[in-house]
Amino acid sequence: MTKQINKIKNIFSIENRTKYFVFVLVCLLTVSVLIFAILILGNQSLQKRTIVTTKEKLNAFENITLEGKSAIVFDVINNQELFSKNPDEPLPLASLTKILTAVVTSKKLKENQTIKITEKDLSPEGDSGLVVGDIWKMHDLRDFTLLTSSNDGAFALASITEKQDPNGSSGENQNNEETEFVKEMNEVALNLGLTNSKFFNEHGLDITNQTTTDQSTKKESCSGAYGSARDMATLFEYVLKNYPDILEATRYQNLEITSAEKTYEAENTNVYVNKIPNLIASKTGYTDLAGGNLIIAFDAGLNRPIIISVLGSTQEGRFTDTLKLVDATIKQLANS
């Protein structure tokens, strides 16, 4: 009996009580740490799921309103359409036509081939300052034509290209007759898969035909070229990958370009050229039938070219539409 009492006293001695207390305290701390860790990890997992859900729901293009009838935003590296509005609707192209003119010319002529400006070359509408008798290198005239959207320059490029073919004859298409150069344009377009595009001249100016009926005489107009926003993005992508030098000049606000006769101050028709971040290339277009057109390529970061094509906007709206799409693209990519 005494031994049992002593054993009980030993169990409840201060030394043993301290050991038990420490043991229990360690167990409680361990359990607390485990519970806390589980709560933290669970909360982080919940936050991650919430962030993922938020990112999935984010659409930076969702509330955009555009003046343009048609538009597309295309990610070149990932071959992905980020946004579109009526992307396959054929619309008047105006001076976007000159992109294909530059491609066909570059396929046919050497970069340093000389081109002498004739009086006939100055027959299209508009005056970009070209001088009869002046001599240009092909690549300089091409740069000048795209940067200033020169109708005379486009006509001169087409004319010298046709002169390589003895059966070719360049001229204004008043009767919708397809010249050899324009035939080549349409063949290239077909080969590139531009299924919604058709070209009638080399500069994109509207064509007015005189039509006589029994009761009246009236004028009917058609565009110098038709195409879709998707087709223009495809064409731009092709040029950037295969003929990057063609569009190099269009990234600048202005350039001094020298011919045999003088130095030209060439101003970019894209007046927003400095408002677009990391601009790679651009081309404007505007006629009465087309309204305002603009196609650009810019680097969205880490060598990620994005092409934006806007058709059927207004003279000012083509620029503001494009800026909206640039901003939305940057936000969309930052949250993807």
Residue 63: inside a domain: no
Please check whether residues 153 and 302 belong to one and the same domain. yes
45/99 same-domain check: no
285-307 per-position pLDDT tens digit = 999 999 999 999 999 998 999 99
Q: Work out the pLDDT band at 8, boundaries 50, 70, 90.
A: very low
Neighbours of 19 (CB within 10 A): 11
Q: Indicate whether 47 and 87 sit together in one domain.
A: no
Question: Cα separation of 235 and 224, whole Å?
Answer: 17
CB 55 within 8 A of CB 335: yes
Q: How far apart are CA 80 and CA 230, in angstroms?
A: 12
The residue assigned the tokens 């009996």 is 1
Burial class, 247, CB count within 10 angstroms (exposed 0-12 / middle 13-18 / buried 19+): buried
Residue 80, both tokens: 């992905």
Same-domain status, 89 and 37: no
Question: Residue 41: pLDDT above 70?
Answer: no
Residue 286, beta-bridge partner list: 292
**b/e for 27-65, b at 16 or more Cβ within 10 A?**
eeeeeeeeeeeeeeeeeeeeeeeeeeeeeeeeebbeeee
Taking the C-alpha atoms of residue 282 and residue 298, their distance in angstroms, rounded to an integer, is 9
Answer yes or no: is 43 within a domain.
Answer: yes
Res. 172: pLDDT tops 60: no
> Closest by alpha carbon to 268, among 284, 290, 257, 279?
284
Q: Where residue 58 falls among pLDDT bands split at 50, 70, 90?
A: confident
Q: 300 and 227, same structural domain?
A: yes
Taking 50 as the threshold, does the pLDDT of residue 327 lie above it? yes
pTM given for the model: 0.80
Cβ atoms 264, 280 nearer than 8 A: no
Position 53 scores a pLDDT of 47
> pLDDT value at position 11?
47
DSSP string, 145-157: HHHHT-HHHHHHH
Confidence band of 30 (pLDDT split at 50, 70, 90): confident
Range of the structural domain that residue 118 is part of? 70-334
Distance CA 274, CA 187 (A): 35
Does 99 lie in the same domain as 18? no
Whether residue 62 is contained in a domain is answered as: no
Say if residue 176 is in the same domain as residue 43: no
Domain co-membership, 33 together with 128: no
Number of structural domains found in the chain:
2
Query: What's 169's domain CATH number?
Result: 3.40.710.10
Q: pLDDT band for position 221 (50/70/90)?
A: confident
Let me know if residue 48 belongs to a domain.
Answer: yes
| Reported confidence tier of residue 6, pLDDT bands at 50, 70, 90 | low
Of the ranges 64-78, 168-182, 293-307, which one carries the lowest mean pLDDT score? Answer: 168-182
In a domain, 64, yes or no: no
Identify whether residues 9 and 154 lie together within a single domain: no
* Residue 248 pLDDT: 97
Could you tell me what percent of the chain has a pLDDT over 70?
78
Could you report the per-residue pLDDT of 191-218, keeping only the tens digit for each? 999 999 999 999 999 997 644 444 454 5
Are both 287 and 181 inside the same structural domain? yes
Query: What length is written for the chain?
Result: 336
